[in-house]
Structure 1
Amino acid sequence: MTIESKPKDYSKQNRIKIHQPDASKADRFDPSNSIYVRAVDGLWTRVRRRMGWISMLFFLILPWIPWGDRQAVWFNLAEQKFHVFGLTIWPQDLTLLAALFMIAAFGLFFVTTYLGRVWCGYTCPQTVWTFIFIWFEEKIEGARNKRIKLDQMPWSFDKLWRKTAKHTAWVLVALLTAMTFVSYFVPTREVYIDVFTLNADGSIYFWVIFFTLATYGNAGWMREIMCIHMCPYARFQAAMFDKNTYIVGYDTKRGETRGPRSRKADPKEMGLGDCIDCDLCVQVCPTGIDIRNGLQYECINCGACIDACDNTMERMGYDKGLISYTTENKLDNVQEKVLRPKLVGYGVVLTVMILLFVYASATIAPVRMDVIRDRNALYRENSRGEIENTFTIKILNKTEYQHDYKLSVDGLDDAKWIGPDNVSIAAGEVLTLPISVAVDPVVLKRSVTNINIVVETEINGEKVITTQETRFFGE
């Protein structure tokens, strides 16, 4: 399977360089050229718009959902705790976070192998925010042709207020985005109250301003530059595609030879295909490509060109589907295969990793203990003639409530615990406790004895016992 990196036609209709009279010389690989995306309506546009609003609302609302005395999702970097509803991930459990990223990666690989770049076209934040910014652009500056004329005309009051209103809307959306993103790391109410009352920490202002500028730049100015020149996903997608992957494809056999004609004309008598060469598929493309030139890595599978072409086919009285979600095998009249080794492999790995993640999440220990021996002396003989070993015990309460803990030693007959054996630890706190274990030397049968330090507590009515093995040295 091949992906053309530079199609033959440079999509002159959608990419126009301001102050360049000859638009035929425009190059869509030149970042200085501007894309004026034409509005389109259709099935896939409505699906993408609704998914975009769902993603946006989910992103905005999630930090406001309460969970006990905190917000449901809170990545508390200061205390090194990641809260996701009832699950709290500590630094000791960061393997879970790594596993979550791996699940997301393999999920992306699986979906891409089967459905192509639907992530890019429907749920990627860059795409969602870009279309939101384009919506404001259309409402304030007008349709595509009006925006082109507005940019080419000299400055006037009309142009000034429209540009000012557009960029103000962009900045407000970017600011809301930035504050919401920061709210995942700093309590939401603190962010909104402290920022607007000028009582926030300097670092909060820095990150709010940084992400505001990043959102404003990415969705307002860079747009397709991010997808074409900066996003690595566009480059390595070819490793996941095969001839059975669903792509946005143009039916060359049906569409060629393309050319304009009236609605009443018979294309067969004129020696033409169904494509009337209206270029609407190019004008609605957010990355400025011509899908009729074949599969290109810049295509984000958003389906805008499908809706534009279907609308044209409907007006002409032709069958829809000249451009559609299809596969290379289907375009070549070759039997499609849904189940193939690569797809099954990704699916198996993804399923196994999800099951392991669920099991590991459900079995996170609420208590963690570390036992460190005194490195200055293996043992000593105390005033009572007993052999004594010294340890430092660290106990971490990984729950969100204070609990009492009982400490003891197991594996050594008649051992004496020297130090506190009942302690109380606050939520999220680490208790460092030096203790000693002493025993009559007569009891020792060998110079090194394996023992267990035991910590008992009760959490939600259930007894929780945590043990840590160590060694007791004697004569």
Structure 2
Amino acid sequence: MSDKIPLKDVSADAVKTFDLYAKRDPIYVRSYQGLFKNVRLLGVGFLFLMYFGTVWLKWEGRQAVLFDLPARQFHVFGATFQPQDFFLLSFLLIICAFGLFFITVFAGRVWCGYTCPQTVWTWIYMWAERVTEGERNKRMKLDKQPWSLDKLKRKSAKHAIWLTVALATAITFVGYFMPIRELVVDIGTFQVSGWALFWVFFFTAATYLNAGWMREQVCIYMCPYARFQSVMFDKDTLIVSYDEARGEPRGSRKRGSDPRAQGLGDCIDCNICVQVCPTGIDIRKGLQYECIGCAACVDACDQVMDKMNYPRGLIRYTTEHSLEGQETKLLRPRLLGYGAALAIMIGLFVVTLSNLAQVSMDVQRDRNVLYRETRSGMIENVYIIRINNRTNAEASYQLEVDGHPQLHLELPADRLTVEPSSSLQIPVNVQLDPVYMEGTNIPIRFHVEANDDSEINATVDSRFMGPTLR
């Protein structure tokens, strides 16, 4: 037996090369009607109303939702949050993550197909294409034709609508970070600030490019969800699927003919399911990561089945177990686990939010010097106190210090008044006779309390520093 590894000369074999980047082939989406399209239209209408409408609402004299970054205040209807409340954002992100995991295990990529902003705005842009350039075949012919006045008018109208939608989207988004009524007036009078103008331009360009030009490329190449979503699928996950056992072998036939007599399945190979797909895939080839679960192919196929007098559901939301003739298990450990985690996180968020203090306080010792001696021989520490009024009304507070009965607190004013949803920063001096010092430091506690409501209070621990006594 030879102890050498056999070699093969492949120099004469044809070498195949592949481009790492392939030019995008335009997708011409066909119009269709159906149940899932109506559901998506209702969802899109609600999301558009929320996005474009909420920013214009007034609440107690101010914009209902406003993330005021310069003032470090984040107003959400009647609640005002400050940077120290950012831990609540982690709650929201975890809730969104578990919610996405839960819905993905249950029904696949329905988030992508119905509520993802990329999908929603892409459908709006495709609607603009259909209004200005016509249906699928007309758009294909128009793109192949040489430039003419009619083509220029149609293309210009389409891009005008695209830019209008993109500009409205950008102004609304920036309006969540600065008062939108002032922003619109400033833009109209050409007095808008440089940064505001930059972000309006940036989000206009991003919307125009993502929804108008890149479209499915964002979902296929840029979105990480398309890559890891299959990890959360199992054989009981509801996904858009083609019933191969019923549809094959596919082939054309006359309406009303018996496909079984011709040795055919129910699929007439019309390719309409491909023509309505916003990512351009053929669902008959099985589950693909490009599928966003929008069910456009389901609606289109049902229309064809109705015309052929065949039962609906050749393409439908179903499970792998169901296609194999097995029982689908709705309640399974993975789904229950994500559901339980989601419920727990929502409960913790609600409890935390309901117990959020109406006043908070930050205490920082003067870092320039540990302590100093006054002319009267007292040991003095300086602290910077920040009182945060989290309510939407002006409030006055009393500040006290505990830790030793002989501690003396010096305030710049007897009455500490803080504006609504604002902070008051003051320096305070705490003094103590050195004979009462026990070691080089003693624990102390600052306590702030509203004058008109003792239940509105906050307490912060600190330390009082002194000299070493021999």
TM-score normalised over the length of structure 1: 0.89
After TM superposition, list the pairs within 5 Å mapping 1:352-363 onto structure 2: 352-363=344-355
Q: 2:46 aligns with which of 54, 64, 82?
A: 54
SS at match of 1:137: helix
After TM superposition, list the pairs within 5 Å mapping 1:21-60 onto structure 2: 30-60=22-52
Q: 1:177 aligns with which of 169, 172, 178?
A: 169
> Does residue 134 of structure 2 align to residue 152 of structure 1?
no
**Which sections of structure 2, spanning at least 5 residues, go unmatched?**
1-18
SS at match of 2:362: strand
Q: CA shift at 1:103, angstroms?
A: 1.1
Q: 1:225 aligns with which of 217, 220, 228?
A: 217
Partner of 2:450: 457
Q: 1:431 aligns with which of 412, 419, 424?
A: 424
After TM superposition, list the pairs within 5 Å mapping 1:39-438 onto structure 2: 39-375=31-367, 378-420=370-412, 421-438=414-431
Conserved 8 A contact 1:178-1:212: yes
CA RMSD of aligned residues (A): 2.0
Conserved 8 A contact 1:250-1:322: yes
SS at match of 2:211: helix
AA at the equivalent of 2:356: I
Conserved 8 A contact 1:407-1:422: no
Alpha-carbon spacing, 1:126–1:31, altered in 2? closer, same or farther (3 Å): farther
Alpha-carbon spacing, 1:43–1:426, altered in 2? closer, same or farther (3 Å): same
Partner of 1:13: none
Aligned counterparts of 1:415 and 1:206: Cα–Cα separation in 2? 54
SS at match of 1:277: coil
Aligned counterparts of 1:443 and 1:153: Cα–Cα separation in 2? 95
Alpha-carbon spacing, 1:449–1:142, altered in 2? closer, same or farther (3 Å): same
- Residues 47-103 of structure 1: CA distance to partner in whole angstroms, max 9, x if unpaired? 112211221121110100111121111111111222111222211111111221221
Q: CA shift at 1:397, angstroms?
A: 2.5
Q: CA shift at 1:109, angstroms?
A: 1.0
Conserved 8 A contact 2:125-2:211: yes
Alpha-carbon spacing, 1:203–1:372, altered in 2? closer, same or farther (3 Å): closer
AA at the equivalent of 2:27: I
- Residues 197-232 of structure 1: CA distance to partner in whole angstroms, max 9, x if unpaired? 101101111111111111111111111111112111
**Which sections of structure 1, spanning at least 5 residues, go unmatched?**
1-26
Conserved 8 A contact 1:99-1:353: yes
- Residues 98-141 of structure 1: CA distance to partner in whole angstroms, max 9, x if unpaired? 22122111111111110110011111111111111111211221
Q: CA shift at 1:299, angstroms?
A: 0.5
Aligned counterparts of 1:388 and 1:136: Cα–Cα separation in 2? 71
Conserved 8 A contact 1:120-1:127: yes
Conserved 8 A contact 2:398-2:451: no
Conserved 8 A contact 1:415-1:438: yes
- Residues 234-286 of structure 1: CA distance to partner in whole angstroms, max 9, x if unpaired? 11101111111110000000000100111232111111011111111011111
- Residues 382-425 of structure 1: CA distance to partner in whole angstroms, max 9, x if unpaired? 44444444333232333333321211122312432223343222
Conserved 8 A contact 1:31-1:225: no
Conserved 8 A contact 2:32-2:276: yes
Alpha-carbon spacing, 1:416–1:282, altered in 2? closer, same or farther (3 Å): same
Alpha-carbon spacing, 1:378–1:196, altered in 2? closer, same or farther (3 Å): closer
SS at match of 1:286: coil
Conserved 8 A contact 1:243-1:328: yes
AA at the equivalent of 2:428: I
Aligned counterparts of 1:177 and 1:38: Cα–Cα separation in 2? 26
TM-score normalised over the length of structure 2: 0.90
Conserved 8 A contact 1:368-1:395: yes
Partner of 1:18: none
Partner of 2:12: none
Q: CA shift at 1:340, angstroms?
A: 1.6
Conserved 8 A contact 1:36-1:147: yes
